[in-house]
Homo-oligomer: A and B are copies of this chain.
């Protein structure tokens, strides 16, 4: 990938907030990855060691404690936080090279009485229902639906009836919501996404759910009605969380986990079986189903 302009080692030290080992006169014009290294480009390594080939790069952004697997004489830009340094460079590069997605898109539906803060980006196909409140610096990706009716049903004479939902959705500052994610409005109270929480694509957040500050939720996860997720949690992809569940702060849930009870202690949780070849899987299924007979 071409950078927006030529960068010297000194330029990079400044932008990356890095100290340069083996500094030289090379001029960087491209950036690439360990997976697809481009000859003479700038690369980056996130960990202190790597077994991958770094010989193609003319420079590398690395952690302070990085040790090269082979002796290298190219500039090493040593930094406290490789991803942050990389982010700084990419931000500059895309702003001036036209990659940045500005607000020049259209086709957003806003209900009445919607409040939107400063510096928000709403992509096409986004739907914000009546009374939705959006804080500052919020990004909502294409086709996300915010404030649709909760799936609130009750029965009369054994037939489903719909209960009207008059609560709304509150999205606090610095929240990001992925493509085609759906966040339902509350019955009477609001559904709330607290500040700096990050929601991936195709996530379902039901009525009256509250997601804590700085919590990240990966794609294809569903959280049923009235559940509360704490602060600083990470929830993997494909997870299912029952309704009326409380999850405390600092909980990390592996992908594809089923959560049916409240989690009261911080830590890591999981439940999904992992892939095996079909023959073993079939045998173990049968044995498992017969365990109860023993």
A residues contacting B by CB (< 8 A) are: 1, 31-33, 35-36, 81, 83-84, 86-87, 90-91, 93-94, 98-101, 105-107, 109, 111-113, 123-125, 127, 129-131, 139, 141-143, 145, 148-149, 151, 153-154, 156, 158-164, 166-167, 176, 178-180, 182, 184, 187-189, 196, 198, 200-202, 204, 206, 208, 214, 216, 218-222, 224, 226, 232, 237-238, 240, 242, 253-261, 263, 265, 267-278, 280-285, 287-289, 291-292, 294
25 sampled A-B residue pairs with Cβ under 8 A: A33-B188, A35-B189, A84-B156, A86-B163, A90-B188, A91-B164, A98-B130, A123-B127, A125-B125, A142-B145, A158-B232, A160-B214, A180-B202, A182-B219, A204-B237, A224-B237, A238-B240, A259-B274, A260-B274, A268-B277, A271-B273, A271-B275, A273-B288, A280-B289, A280-B292
Residues of B within 8 A of A294 (CB): 287
Bound CA–CA A190/B125 (angstroms): 24
Residue of B nearest to A111 (CB): B101
Bound CA–CA A272/B281 (angstroms): 9
A81–B154 CB distance below 8 A: yes
B189–A178 CB distance below 8 A: no
Given contacts A125-B109, A206-B219, A269-B276, contact A84 B161 (CB under 8 A): yes
Residues of B within 8 A of A271 (CB): 272-276, 281
Bound CA–CA A1/B123 (angstroms): 30
B276–A154 CB distance below 8 A: no
A180–B143 CB distance below 8 A: yes
A273–B273 CB distance below 8 A: yes
Residue of B nearest to A127 (CB): B142
B280–A275 CB distance below 8 A: no
Given A99-B164, A222-B237, A258-B274, 15 more pairs with CB closer than 8 A: A86-B163, A87-B164, A90-B166, A125-B127, A142-B145, A143-B145, A148-B201, A151-B201, A158-B232, A218-B224, A220-B222, A242-B255, A258-B273, A269-B278, A284-B288
Q: How many copies does the complex hold?
A: 3
Bound CA–CA A127/B289 (angstroms): 43
Residue of B nearest to A131 (CB): B99
Residue of B nearest to A164 (CB): B90
A188–B269 CB distance below 8 A: no
B274–A160 CB distance below 8 A: no
A272–B255 CB distance below 8 A: no
Bound CA–CA A198/B192 (angstroms): 25
Report which of B166, B188, B289 forms a contact with A276, defined as CB distance below 8 A: B289
Bound CA–CA A35/B106 (angstroms): 38
Residues of B within 8 A of A284 (CB): 288-289, 291-292
Bound CA–CA A291/B284 (angstroms): 6
